[in-house]
Amino acid sequence: MSEVMKALRGSADPLENDLARVYDHWQEVKRSQGQRAGLGYEPRDISALGAVSVISSRVLNASAGFEEIDPDQSYEALVIKYPERFTPDVIAAAQERLKLGASKVQEFRRQDIQFFVKSSAIELFGEPGVRPTAESWVGRDAALPELHKENSYADEILTKGFRGLVWLHEQEKNSERGRGLTAVVEFGPMQPDRRARVLDAVFFERPVGKELLEAHKDDETFIASIGASRHSRIWPISDSDVDSLLSAVREKAHKIAQYENQNPDPHEPLNLEKIEDATALRQVVLRRYQSAFRQALLSKRPNRCAITGTSELSVLEAAHIIPYAERFADRDKPENGLLLRSDIHKLFDALNRAGFAGG
C-alpha cells in the first residue's frame, strides 16, 4: 500500500477517507479487466496538490476512465457529496457528467451529429468575405469557441474530429450578417489552438433563424438556449435536438414551397419538406455529404470499382462495409470503405437491407 493511500485512509477528513475507497474500487475494476492495478499519477498529485485540487482538475478536464467505473465511485460523486469543498464550476461539471451517465456518454460518442456551433463567419475563419458555400469553407481552418465548463466532458471528442450544426449570428458584425441555422459541417480533429479543418459541409437552402428562436424563447428547450446565448459558443447536442432543428428547416422549406407553388423533386436530398420521419431526415442530410469519405478512399484505394473494375471516376461511389446506419466510431475511416460503381453500390445497400453485409 502506498504512503498516500495510508494517509488517505487514516485521515481525519471524511472526503479523503472516501477518496481512498474510490481508489480501491478503481484498482478492483482494473484487476477484473486483467490490467495492472495502478493509480498512475494520482498519488503523486494528491501528495503535491491535495485531494480537492486534484479532484477539481480531473472533473473540469473530464478525465478518462469514467465510463469504466461505478459512477457512485467517481471523482464526480465525491464533488456532489461534499459540495461545500468545491467551486460552482466544478459542481456543475460533475452534475452534468453524472446526469449523462456512462451509457449516455457512449451514446453521445456514436451520434452522427454531436455538436452545435453558434458563431459568425468572421470569428470562425478570421477574415471577412467568406461566403456560406462548400467551395468557400472546405479546406479552411475554423476557430472553435470554448465549451462551457459543464460541457467539458465533451472536449476530448472535439480532438478526434466531429460533425456539427453551424448557426451563424444574425446580428450584423463588420458589415456581415448570418442567416441562423446554416449548415451541417464535418470538422477534422481540433488542434491545441482550438482550430479544426473543415472537411465537408452541406448548406441549407432555407436557413431558419430569428423566427425559430422567437417561437421557443420561453419553453426551456435547447432551441431556447440558442437564443439566450448572445456570444459565440459550442454545445454538445442530442439526437432529439438535432431532429427538432432539422425538422424546423424542413417545415420552412415546405411553407415556402407551398407559397411559391413549387413542386420539387422528392428524390433530391435537400428537398427536406418531403421527408416526414425525423431519423430519415437526419440520415438524408448526412448522406448528402460523403465527399470527404470518398476522397479518402480515392487516395487509399485503386481508383476502380472493387467488383466490376470500372475506372470511370464519375460513377465511383464510396460504400461502407459496415453500414452507415450502424454509427460505430470508425465508420468513416477508409478501412471501412469500398469504391463501387453507382449501380453496384445500390445493389450493395439492397443486400444489406435484406440482411447481408455492406452499406
* DSSP class of 147: B
Q: Which residue type does 199 have?
A: L
pLDDT of residue 165: 94
So what's the pLDDT on residue 267?
A: 40
DSSP 315: G
Q: Which amino acid is at 75?
A: Y
Q: Full-prediction pTM beyond 0.95?
A: no
| Confidence band, pLDDT 50/70/90 cuts, at residue 327 | low
Cβ of 287: how many Cβ atoms within 10 Å?
13
Average pLDDT, the chain: 80
Give the tens place of pLDDT for each residue, 136-185: 999 999 999 988 876 776 777 888 889 999 999 988 776 788 889 999 99
Q: Exposed (0-12), middle (13-18) or buried (19+): which is 155, by Cβ within 10 Å?
A: middle
Q: Are 212 and 165 in contact (CB under 8 A)?
A: no
Q: CA-CA distances (angstroms) from residue 87 to 61, 80, 164, 222, 235?
A: 14, 11, 31, 26, 22
Q: What is the pLDDT of residue 109?
A: 67
97, burial (CB in 10 Å: exposed 0-12, middle 13-18, buried 19+):
buried
Output the pLDDT for position 277.
52
Residue 40: all three cell numbers together: 498512475
Distance (Å, whole) CA 343 – CA 350: 11
Which amino acid makes up residue 15? L
How many residues are present in the chain? 359
For 96-107, write each residue's pLDDT tens digit: 777 766 555 566
| Structure confidence at residue 275 as a pLDDT band (50, 70, 90) | very low
User: What average pLDDT score do residues 239-261 get?
Assistant: 74
Q: What is the pLDDT of residue 16?
A: 94
CA 301 to chain centroid:
28
Domains and CATH numbers, the chain: 3-109 (no CATH), 115-238 (3.10.590), 290-353 (no CATH)
**pLDDT for the residue 324:** 60
| Sign of the CA dihedral running 83, 84, 88, 90 | negative
Is the pLDDT at 226 greater than 80? The verdict is yes
Residue 12 burial class via C-beta count within 10 angstroms: exposed 0-12, middle 13-18, buried 19 and up:
exposed
Q: Is 299 left (phi over 0), alpha (psi -120 to 50) or beta?
A: alpha
Closest C-alpha to 207, from 292, 277, 129, 272: 272
How far is it, in rounded angstroms, from Cα 96 to Cα 101?
A: 9
Is residue 159 within 8 Å of residue 170, measured between CB atoms?
no
Residue (of 327, 328, 349) closest to 338 by Cα position = 349
The tens digit of pLDDT for each residue in 63-75 reads 656 556 777 888 9
- In terms of DSSP bridges, do strands 141-143 and 195-208 run parallel, antiparallel, or are they unpaired? antiparallel
pLDDT of residue 342: 82
More confident of the two residues 100 and 38: 38
Mean pLDDT computed over 240-258: 78
CA distance linking residue 165 with residue 114, whole number of Å: 8
190 touches 144 (CB < 8 A): yes
Pairing of strands 115-119, 162-168: parallel
Higher pLDDT, 31 or 56: 56
